[in-house]
Amino acid sequence: MDNSKNKNSGKVFAVQFTSWQESVTAVLKASGLADHLIAGQQILIKPNLVEPLDPPITTPVEIISALIDYLRTVSPDFKIIIGEGCGSLSNDTWQVFKILGYIDLADEKKVTLVDLNKAPLIKKQDHRCRRWPEMYLPQIAYDSFLLSVPVLKAHSLAGVTLTLKNMMGLAPPAHYQQGGHWKKASFHQGIQEAIFDLNQYRTPDFTLLDATIGMQQAHLWGPHCDPPANRIAAGFDPVAIDAYGCSLLGRDWQKIGHLRMAHDVLGMADPLTLVDV
């Protein structure tokens, strides 16, 4: 998918964080998300729940709750699903959902939870992809409007983990663990090419980025951003969102391999249009 030339390419909407409800609603309204949704359609919300660890390592339930509330104002008929495939070898996705409050959230908001690690798969092939010339991915990712909700984090191997890397939660361990110590361990080999190729098969249709705090050095450990970024960002262009996230982390997007490859293919990192809400 080449979205580098559409009217939303290179555009990021961002708001100063005041409260989940107020800030999420403001940035989603400004982004024009509602104009791209169809009443009754299925929406797959993909948070980052890699391990059963508290935010800002993982996506807080509060931002998902505010997102669901906003979607319901657009149309009460959406079929809303929260889907994740955790990377933890010692926990399954349902344990992570429970520990981080997602089961309670799903009960409260009357939405469905799906373990993407065990969802029905479809086989895809793409001759452009050198790292993954074929991939097995959840069918639900293709049947839904895919709304990614990552958190602002550096990553010890990938450089950053934002919305493009958040798509690794789609990868089923049955095909991508390969005996490793992590459920998606095969991605560690050639990780930049692996992330880029995965996103050639499926990029998010829209991203809501939790940049209220941020992880400055790594994705599972280390210091928070100091001062916290205190922002929530949104947009249709995943490459632009990730380039913006890099700027908040003080990273050069051109030094992040998967972003450099994705620029002008899956979206636009530069020039970046930042719309302050």
pLDDT in tens, 211-242: 999 988 778 777 889 999 999 999 999 999 99
Q: Kindly state the average pLDDT of the residues 24-39.
A: 96
Q: Is the pTM of this model over 0.85?
A: yes
Buried b (16+ CB within 10 A) or exposed e, 96-135: bbebbbbeebbeebebebbbbbebebeebeeeebebbeeb
**Cβ neighbours, 10 Å, residue 45:** 22
C-beta separation of 86 from 116 below 8 A: no
Q: How far is CA 190 from the centre of its chain?
A: 20
- Check whether the bond before 150 is cis (ω within 30° of 0): no
Cβ neighbors of 151 (< 8 A, separation 6 or more) are 48, 55, 56, 57, 58, 59, 209, 210, 211, 214, 215
pLDDT in tens, 170-199: 999 999 998 777 899 999 889 999 999 999
Signed CA dihedral, 4, 7, 10, 16: sign only: negative
Q: Kindly state the average pLDDT of the residues 4-20.
A: 88
C-beta separation of 174 from 184 below 8 A: no
Q: Please give the pLDDT value at position 218.
A: 72
Domains and CATH numbers, the chain: 11-276 (3.40.50.11440)
Q: Cα dist. 74→36, 185, 233 in Å?
A: 11, 39, 19
Q: Please give the pLDDT value at position 5.
A: 53
- Could you identify the residue written with the tokens 């391990």? 51
**Cβ neighbours, 10 Å, residue 251:** 16
Tell me the residue type at 229.
Answer: A
Q: Please give the pLDDT value at position 3.
A: 43
CA nearest to 250, candidates 221, 224, 216? 216
pLDDT in tens, 153-163: 999 889 899 99
**Cβ neighbours, 10 Å, residue 24:** 26
Answer whether residue 1 shows pLDDT above 60: no
C-alpha–C-alpha distance, residues 137 and 122, integer Å: 6
What is the share, in percent, of the chain residues with pLDDT greater than 70? Answer: 98
Answer whether residue 88 shows pLDDT above 90: no
pLDDT band of 52, cuts 50, 70, 90:
very high
The two tokens of residue 187 are 């991605």
pLDDT in tens, 162-175: 999 999 999 999 99
Average pLDDT, the chain: 94
